[in-house]
Amino acid sequence: MMRQAGIVTNVLFPCPSPSYTIHSFPGELIWVPMHGTGGDGTTDQSMNSVPCLLLLYESARFIIIYFHGNAEDLGRSHWFCCFLRDQFQVHVLAVEYPGYGVCLGRTDRESVMVNAHAGLRFVTHSLKLPLDRVKLFGRSIGTGPALMLAARYKVAGLVLVSPFINIKDLFQEKVGPFAAFVEEWFSNDKAMVQVQSATLIIHGQRDILIPCSHGRSLFDLCPSRKVFINPEFMEHNTNLTVDHGFLILPMFRFFALPDYSFQELHVPTWAFDKRRSPLYKKPDVQVCSRQKMGQSALDGGSGIMMPAGDLADPCPSLPRHHSSKHRSRFASGRGQSAPMPDALTQPTVLHSGPAPKRGYSFHDLNREEPDSECSICLPARRLDKVNLGCASWASDDVGKADTRGDPMERRSAS
CA pair distance 340, 300, nearest whole angstrom = 7
Among 60, 89, 74, smallest CA distance to 30 is for: 74
| Segment 182-205 mean pLDDT | 91
pLDDT for 375:
43
CA pair distance 122, 94, nearest whole angstrom = 12
pLDDT for 352:
53
Q: pLDDT tens across 4-29, in order?
A: 555 666 666 778 899 999 999 999 99
Among 363, 377, 372, 376, smallest CA distance to 411 is for: 372
Whether residue 112 has pLDDT greater than 90:
yes
| Segment 379-405 mean pLDDT | 45
Domain assignment of residue 283, yes or no? no
pLDDT for 304:
43
pLDDT for 170:
74
Which structural domain, as residue segments, surrounds residue 215? 2-276
Domain assignment of residue 294, yes or no? no
Among 229, 140, 245, 156, smallest CA distance to 197 is for: 156
- Total domains in the fold of the chain: 1
DSSP three-state, residue 121:
helix
Whether residue 295 has pLDDT greater than 60:
no
Domain assignment of residue 263, yes or no? yes
Among 210, 208, 25, smallest CA distance to 102 is for: 25
Whether residue 341 has pLDDT greater than 60:
no
Domain assignment of residue 166, yes or no? yes
Whether residue 377 has pLDDT greater than 80:
no
**What Cα–Cα distance (Å) separates residue 394 from each residue in 64, 386, 402?**
74, 11, 11
Model confidence at 284, in pLDDT bands (50, 70, 90)? confident
Model confidence at 399, in pLDDT bands (50, 70, 90)? very low
Whether residue 380 has pLDDT greater than 80:
no
First-last CA distance in the chain? 119
Contact 229, 246 (CB under 8 A): yes
Contact 383, 407 (CB under 8 A): yes
pLDDT for 367:
52
Model confidence at 40, in pLDDT bands (50, 70, 90)? low
Least confident window among 90-104, 135-149, 277-291, 395-409: 395-409
Q: Which position has the higher pLDDT, 70 or 1? A: 70
CA pair distance 48, 265, nearest whole angstrom = 25
Peptide bond connecting 51 to the previous residue in cis, omega within 30 degrees of 0: no
Residue 160 burial class via C-beta count within 10 angstroms: exposed 0-12, middle 13-18, buried 19 and up: buried
Q: Which position has the higher pLDDT, 269 or 360? A: 269
Q: What percent of the chain has pLDDT over 90?
A: 51
pLDDT for 381:
47
Mean pLDDT of the chain: 77
- Please tell me what DSSP assigns to residue 122: I
Domain assignment of residue 307, yes or no? no
CA dihedral in degrees (193, 196, 197, 203; nearest 10)?
10
pLDDT for 331:
44
Domain assignment of residue 343, yes or no? no
Whether residue 328 has pLDDT greater than 50:
no
Domain assignment of residue 106, yes or no? yes
Each as own residue / partner, the long-range contacts of residues 292-299 (CB below 8 Å, 24 or more positions apart, any chain) are 297/340, 298/339, 298/340, 298/342, 299/339
List residues bridging with 52 in a β-sheet. Answer: 30, 95
Give me the helices (H) in 135-239, please. Answer: 143-152, 167-175, 188-192, 212-221
- CATH number for the domain harbouring residue 198: 3.40.50.1820
Residue 4 burial class via C-beta count within 10 angstroms: exposed 0-12, middle 13-18, buried 19 and up: exposed
Domain assignment of residue 336, yes or no? no
